Structure 1
Amino acid sequence: MTTSKTIRLVMPQWQGGNNPAYHFGAELLAWLAPAAHCPVITIPVSSPENNPLVSEDGIVGRTQVVAQLALAQTTIGEHAPDNIAVLGGDCLVDLAPFAYLAEKYQEGFGILWIDAHPDVMTPAQFSHSHAHVLGALMGHGDAALTAAVTRPVSGRKVMIAGLNDPTDYETGFIQLHGINTCAPEEIKAGSRHIIDWIANEKITHLAIHFDLDVLNFKKFRSVYFSNPDSDEHAYDGIGKGSLEIDEVINLIHQVNDLTKIVGLGIAEHLPWDAINMKRMLASLPLMND
């Protein structure tokens, strides 16, 4: 009897979103997660402190994200797992794990991208590479990112769930490449489109990207759009999440009954209250002796 090998990657990458808060968000996510009964590997990420980023070839922090991507690839290759759980960090943390799984499971592999945004941009549209990751997994975008992908994933093997208000570029990319999408309202109504997609595409092995900003930011406050220091109109015109936690859990449980989940990446955790509490504690007498 063969034993399936799982690893858990903790990757507190913040440069892809150009936001130091992602670093602590990933660390706290790893602390909150259930105890692991598998190897837990932390991918070293350069600290946000005194480490300003520069834009190189249209990508902010390109040197750092490319180096961290290579390290994640090497680490995964050394462990050669069957399943990978990822705790990040910005969305780009799923590039190396999902590329590895796409190569391992080939034609039966699919990606369920639970996200308010499709993450299919390139440096021509946006300089923050966390918005490039799904496009790179499909073989499109910056050469240093797509070099990690030995088997690009076809659009028909991708389902973006929870998509909200895509840009014209994103809409065009989705249509051009035949990517499947499911609006938040469809998920709330039962996710039939996603269930049919798994059956129609004969997806036997599934990787799930769970960007926490797919959640209703008015109720789950540890996401980008809940930043208490932002102006009330700072995010006007940007697609925001509207799903409840239980709706996403139910969706994942549904697909778990239909196919084998071999990848799960959780990203973009921004615990604003905990970040402010950490800063406050560090400033108090007797706390830094």
Structure 2
Amino acid sequence: MKPRHHRPSERIRIIGAASGIGAQDRACEDGPVAFHRSQAWHELEHHPLLDWGKTLFAPQGDRASITGRIAALCRNLADEVALALRASEFPVVIGGDHSVAIGTWSGVARAIAEPIGLLWIDAHLDSHTPETSYSGAIHGMPLACLLGRGDKRLLNIGLEGTQISAAHTVVLGPRSYEPEELEFLQRMQVRIIDSDEILRRGFAACLDEAIAIVASAPAGFGVTLDLDAIDPRLAPGVGSPEPDGLVVHDAVEAMRRIGGLPGLKALEIVEYNPDRDRHGTTAGLISDLIGELLPPGSDK
């Protein structure tokens, strides 16, 4: 087992991104508020290095299109993430459907002033464009947007052009996707380590490779974890559950390994659906993942 790295004692700012309008099941909109009210968060909230900053919502209004509302939320989220980084805080974004990733990683790229590496842990590839999407749901498009492809309202929010470096981006754990998005990511030369490869090689070896790729990005890297990457029997409170997937230990071990790496700029945990959670199991997992960012003994 590789040694655990510890984060410096920097303040962690939690930012809620309460959007469900990018998904078919909109209950993920309630995820950040439900987690903020959960027992799992209450057990963390008094930690001296943790602060819940703001919870952002998509603007209301019948005249505003879904894409326009998501774009507005993502611009606000990018502002909050960039503000946290400029204050030498570590942003942790709690979503909300995965369309909010457009705002999170645009904000990081803006603060750093160049594209970053990104570890995208997900059951899906999330790399459709409006032309290829089967459902039209924008939570299936954010990775493509961050790579510069998609509706123009969702592009260039942080930087002009791409927000992340394709050469330093890895999608880890996908097990449900369409050929169009696979072809797009392969054309962009994004490394995809799917569930079959994880079964064949083992999670630890695949994680080692993924970390090596994303952590070599000169400007640093981030991690976005869609909770549906995990087996829904173990983490039921997700927006788009898919059979099988990672075990909880793998997700926590990944965060333990990555959480203190010096190039890590932000963490995002998305697609929490409290309507499907059972006994707070998935909320507890979110809390455990955040806890891996905290230095040992820092709650004293």
Q: Which residue of 2 aligns with 1:220?
A: 235
**Whole-angstrom CA distance in 1 between matches of 2:82 and 2:116:** 18
Q: Which residue of 1 aligns with 2:51?
A: 38
* Runs of 5+ unmatched residues, structure 2: 1-7, 279-300
SS across alignment from 1:38 = strand
Q: Which residue of 2 aligns with 1:148?
A: 157
**Whole-angstrom CA distance in 2 between matches of 1:108 and 1:3:** 26
Q: Does 1:174 align with 2:185?
A: yes
Cα distance change of structure 1 residues 39 and 29 upon mapping to structure 2, 3 Å threshold: closer
Contact (CA 8 Å) 2:114, 2:159: kept in 1 or not? no
Which residue among 18, 27, 31 is the counterpart of 1:21?
27
Q: Which residue of 1 aligns with 2:286?
A: none
TM-score by length of 1: 0.76
TM-score by length of 2: 0.74
**Whole-angstrom CA distance in 2 between matches of 1:273 and 1:182:** 28
Which residue among 189, 202, 208 is the counterpart of 1:192?
208
**Whole-angstrom CA distance in 1 between matches of 2:78 and 2:214:** 27
Q: In structure 2, what residue type is equivalent to 1:159?
A: V
Contact (CA 8 Å) 2:28, 2:273: kept in 1 or not? yes
Cα distance change of structure 1 residues 155 and 130 upon mapping to structure 2, 3 Å threshold: same
**Whole-angstrom CA distance in 2 between matches of 1:77 and 1:99:** 9
Alpha-carbon offset, residue 30 of structure 1: 2.6
Q: Does 1:68 align with 2:73?
A: yes
Contact (CA 8 Å) 2:116, 2:220: kept in 1 or not? yes
Q: Which has the larger radius of gyration?
A: 1
Cα distance change of structure 1 residues 203 and 258 upon mapping to structure 2, 3 Å threshold: farther
Q: In structure 2, what residue type is equivalent to 1:28?
A: A
Cα distance change of structure 1 residues 39 and 217 upon mapping to structure 2, 3 Å threshold: closer
Q: Does 1:132 align with 2:148?
A: no
Q: Which residue of 2 aligns with 1:229?
A: none
SS across alignment from 1:14 = coil
Contact (CA 8 Å) 1:225, 1:240: kept in 2 or not? no
Q: Which residue of 2 aligns with 1:231?
A: none
* Runs of 5+ unmatched residues, structure 1: 227-238, 276-289
**Whole-angstrom CA distance in 2 between matches of 1:209 and 1:198:** 12
Alpha-carbon offset, residue 143 of structure 1: 0.3
Alpha-carbon offset, residue 260 of structure 1: 3.0
SS across alignment from 1:130 = helix
Q: Which residue of 2 aligns with 1:244?
A: 247
Q: Percent identity?
A: 19
Contact (CA 8 Å) 2:14, 2:52: kept in 1 or not? yes
How many residue pairs end up in the alignment? 255
Alpha-carbon offset, residue 108 of structure 1: 7.9
Q: Which residue of 2 aligns with 1:113?
A: 120
Cα distance change of structure 1 residues 187 and 149 upon mapping to structure 2, 3 Å threshold: farther
Cα distance change of structure 1 residues 143 and 5 upon mapping to structure 2, 3 Å threshold: farther
Cα distance change of structure 1 residues 53 and 87 upon mapping to structure 2, 3 Å threshold: farther
Q: In structure 2, what residue type is equivalent to 1:249?
A: V
Q: In structure 2, what residue type is equivalent to 1:197?
A: I
Contact (CA 8 Å) 1:139, 1:149: kept in 2 or not? no
Cα distance change of structure 1 residues 187 and 45 upon mapping to structure 2, 3 Å threshold: farther
The C-alpha deviation readout for 1:23-75, integer Å capped at 9, x for no partner, is: 2222122333321633511113357xxx8798x5xxxx123212222322344
Alpha-carbon offset, residue 219 of structure 1: 2.6
Q: In structure 2, what residue type is equivalent to 1:111?
A: L
SS across alignment from 2:167 = helix
Q: Which residue of 1 aligns with 2:287?
A: none
Q: Which residue of 1 aligns with 2:99?
A: 92
The C-alpha deviation readout for 1:87-135, integer Å capped at 9, x for no partner, is: 1100112222211212333568311101111211111122111111111
Alpha-carbon offset, residue 15 of structure 1: 0.7
